[in-house]
């Protein structure tokens, strides 16, 4: 397994590489192709962008497990990214994805510098940002299922009403769900949400910058997912107090509102600086 033979990227324009992931079955190799595209939103190819933590451990190929093949070359990945690609690979259509570890030649300092400068526009240009939290645990599937249910009910109602009532409708359906379940189920959802917020994704400065530029975002945990805008409301819906690190990430997620964090770069800069000064908030991927 050697380095991928990257073709030079045109650094004179807003060029990016995109990864086409072919639809396959669960145990098939993950077959991909890299291609160059224009990073301009109006001219570019529709794509999704992955927001994740690299993690420290490298994926070690195991006989019988799917390989990640890019233009026929088996490539090295961190374990977390390997799991993410395997989980999000679609079964019924190809997926066009931007993921930094593959779409940027990590051995080319000039290209890395160019792409880092354009990171905000890359995430802003994506039709959706996928926030990968990692594999599921005992309660995460139920929690994200609850978030998706609240989202669907509120969205059905807002199709006929004003968007400014969307948050109110989320509260209404949360109250309805709680009334139909015993206190033990509600407590498990509280604990499940708090456990999710302890995952590394909520502790990286890079995540703030990525999610701040998203038009829309989706939270992924294993095979389950939910809209980020409803996920961000869950502390209020569940009546939870959360730490400032997680609160910063949730507050910056795109929602139904006229002004967002990503529309105000100075606010994002100030927020990032404040969070970075707090103890225990790592800046690395």
**pLDDT-based confidence at 205, cuts 50/70/90?**
confident
* Whole-number pLDDT of residue 43: 66
Mean pLDDT of 250-273: 56
- The pLDDT tens digits for 21-46 are 998 888 899 999 999 998 765 567 89
* Whole-number pLDDT of residue 90: 87
- The pLDDT tens digits for 62-121 are 777 899 999 999 998 999 999 999 999 988 899 999 999 999 999 999 999 999 999 999
* Whole-number pLDDT of residue 60: 77
281/285 Cα distance (integer angstroms) = 12
pLDDT at 232 over 70: yes
Averaged pLDDT score across all residues of the chain: 86
Could you tell me what percent of the chain has a pLDDT over 90?
63
* Whole-number pLDDT of residue 3: 82
* Whole-number pLDDT of residue 163: 58
**CA-closest candidate to residue 277, choices 245, 250, 242:** 245
Could you tell me what percent of the chain has a pLDDT over 70?
85
* Whole-number pLDDT of residue 1: 67
Range from 16-30, 96-110, 236-250, 260-274 that averages highest in pLDDT: 96-110
H, E, C per residue of the chain: CCCCCCCCCCCCCCEEEEEEECCCCCCCCEEEEEEEEECCCCCCCCCEEEECCCCCCECCCCCCCCCEEECCEECCCEHHHHHHHHHHCCCCCCEEEECHHHHCCCCCHHHHHHHHHCHHHHHHHCCEEEEECCCCCCCHHHHHHHHHHHHHHHHHHHCCCCHHHHHHHHHHHHHHHHHCCCHHHHHHHHHHHHHHCCCHHHHCHHHHHHHHCCCCEEEEECCEEEEHHHHCCHHHHHCCCCCHHHHHHHHCCCCCCCCCHHHCHHHHHHHHHHHHHCCCCCCCC
* Whole-number pLDDT of residue 132: 98
Let me know: does 235 contact 243? Beta carbons within 8 Å: no
pLDDT at 131 over 90: yes
């Amino acid at each position: 397994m050697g380095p991928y033979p990257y073709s030079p990227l045109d650094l004179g324009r807003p060029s990016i590489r995109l990864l086409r992931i072919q639809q396959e079955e669960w145990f098939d190799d993950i077959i991909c192709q890299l291609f160059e595209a224009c990073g301009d939103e109006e001219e570019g190819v529709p794509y999704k962008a992955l927001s994740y933590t690299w993690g420290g451990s490298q994926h070690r190929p195991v006989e019988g497990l799917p390989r990640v093949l890019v233009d026929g070359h088996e490539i090295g990945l961190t374990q977390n990214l390997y799991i993410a690609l395997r989980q999000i690979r679609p079964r019924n259509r190809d997926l066009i994805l931007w993921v930094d570890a593959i779409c940027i030649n990590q051995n080319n300092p000039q290209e890395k510098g160019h792409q880092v400068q354009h990171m905000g526009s890359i995430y802003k240009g994506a039709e959706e940002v996928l926030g990968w939290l990692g594999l599921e645990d005992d309660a995460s599937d139920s929690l994200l299922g609850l978030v998706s249910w609240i989202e669907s009910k509120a969205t059905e109602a807002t199709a006929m009403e004003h968007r400014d009532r969307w948050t109110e409708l989320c509260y209404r359906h949360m109250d309805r769900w709680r009334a139909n379940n015993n206190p033990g189920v509600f407590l498990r959802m509280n604990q499940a949400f708090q456990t999710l917020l302890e995952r590394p994704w909520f502790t990286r400065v890079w995540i703030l910058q990525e999610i701040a530029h998203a038009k829309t975002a989706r939270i992924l945990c294993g095979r389950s997912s939910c809209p980020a805008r409803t996920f961000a409301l869950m502390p209020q819906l569940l009546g939870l107090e959360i730490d400032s690190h997680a609160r910063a990430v949730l507050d910056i997620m795109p929602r139904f509102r006229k002004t967002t964090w990503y529309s105000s770069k100075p606010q994002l800069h100030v927020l990032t600086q404040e969070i970075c000064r707090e103890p225990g908030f790592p800046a690395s991927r």
